[in-house]
């Protein structure tokens, strides 16, 4: 419960989180993390609102100050089979970049 409260507080206090594109409700179907810190997620309903070169996976920016919170949210939502709503902001490399995650998918 405390984790959900933390995620909601981060969403409400981040001006960037409300300024970009929220996607449709979906479920996380997989995640991939590499030794260099790159983290990708796969979802049931793929979206690519900024027409990135490769929309097959979504990416989390490992240089973001809240990367650990976002990645923990991915793991928790995946393990609990929770519906999520993702907030997109441009591309990171070739993939759509996720800047916030709502659990359950309520946005």
24 confidence band (pLDDT: 50, 70, 90): confident
Of 107 and 102, which is predicted with more confidence? 102
Using one digit for the tens of pLDDT, what is the confidence trace for 49-106?
A: 999 999 999 999 999 999 999 999 999 999 999 999 999 999 999 999 999 999 886 6
Of 20 and 5, which is predicted with more confidence? 20
pLDDT at 44: 95
CATH 3.40.640.10 applies to domain 2-102: no
| Measured distance CA(46)–CA(29) in Å, rounded | 11
pLDDT at 23: 85
pTM: 0.77
CB 3 within 8 A of CB 82: no
């Amino acid at each position: 419960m405390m984790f959900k409260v933390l995620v909601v507080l981060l969403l409400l206090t981040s001006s960037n989180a409300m300024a970009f594109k929220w996607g449709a409700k979906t479920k996380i179907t997989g995640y991939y993390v590499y030794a260099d810190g790159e983290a990708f997620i796969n979802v049931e309903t793929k979206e690519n609102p900024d027409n990135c070169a490769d929309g097959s996976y979504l990416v989390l920016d490992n240089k973001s100050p809240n990367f650990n919170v976002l990645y923990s949210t991915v793991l928790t939502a995946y393990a609990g089979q929770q519906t999520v709503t993702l907030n997109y902001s441009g591309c990171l490399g070739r993939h759509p970049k996720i800047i916030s995650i709502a659990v359950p998918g309520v946005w």
